[in-house]
Amino acid sequence: MELIKSILVEANPDIVIFLMTSFIAFTSWIVKGLVEKPINDSKDTFNKFLEKRIKFLFEIKARLNLIAYFIQEQGECDKFKEEIQNLLLKDGRACYLNKEDFDKVLNISITPEISEELLLEAITNIDEDLYSQISKIQDEVSFYRKFSNYNPFKKFVGVSLLALQYILSLVLIMSILFALAYGLIVFACWIKIILILIIIIGLILINKWLNK
């Protein structure tokens, strides 16, 4: 430790500043890469999966609707059932359906007598699933239109508002964390226990919210 202090004292201040700045920049670059790359890779995977899943769900839904429309015509229904079977068997695309919807769609496609109740449930479930997936895309499009405007003034205002939101969120989060840390240090033992429980419950709720 003394050796390090003596080296720093005797060293050229300009060189020390340069080395420290370089070290901080290199560390920031490493941290950015460790955080940013997994996020970008996950985003690319999610976008590819989402696009294929929406297309598949639309194809299944269209044929279920046609079965519902031609439910009294056995020949037409059989044709659409066969198309559904081909879609389910092609390239493992059945994995785009959750287990409940897969069981219902498979049942409809192979059962001679069609259950109208089961058919309606399958169409309703896929509609809800599609609405959820498309809502994500609409949020992304809305975000892009709001903060990537061609008008320079509108773009500047949009980016400024976005930056302000981030700053306010950061200030709020840091204030809450500081208050909790201060409470854990200063307050009585039973209050500390309550604060710890609040932190645990808060983390669980935040995790559920982020997974939506």
Task: Write the pLDDT tens digit of every residue in 42-98.
Answer: 667 677 777 888 888 888 888 888 888 887 887 888 888 888 888 888 877 788 888
Is residue 24 classed exposed, middle or buried when 0-12, 13-18 and 19+ CB atoms within 10 A define those classes?
Answer: exposed
Whether the per-residue pLDDT at 3 is higher than 60: the answer is: no
pLDDT on residue 33: 62
User: What are the structural domain ranges in the chain?
Assistant: 2-148, 152-212
Triad 105, 110, 112: Cα angle to 5°: 120
DSSP 32: H
Q: How far apart are alpha carbons 145 and 158 in whole angstroms?
A: 10
**Residue 1: is its pLDDT beyond 50?**
no
Instruction: State the Cα angle at 109 between 75 and 103, rounded to 5°.
Output: 165
Q: In this predicted structure, what is the pLDDT of residue 87?
A: 86
Q: How confident is the model at residue 29 (pLDDT cuts 50, 70, 90)?
A: low
Q: What is the pTM of this model?
A: 0.57
- Whether the per-residue pLDDT at 13 is higher than 70: the answer is no
Q: What are the tens digits of pLDDT across the range 87-137? A: 888 877 788 888 888 888 888 888 888 788 888 888 888 888 888 888 877
Q: How far apart (Å, rounded) are the C-alpha atoms in residues 180 and 174?
A: 10
Which structure tokens are listed for 3? 């050796």
Predicted local confidence at residue 36, as pLDDT: 62
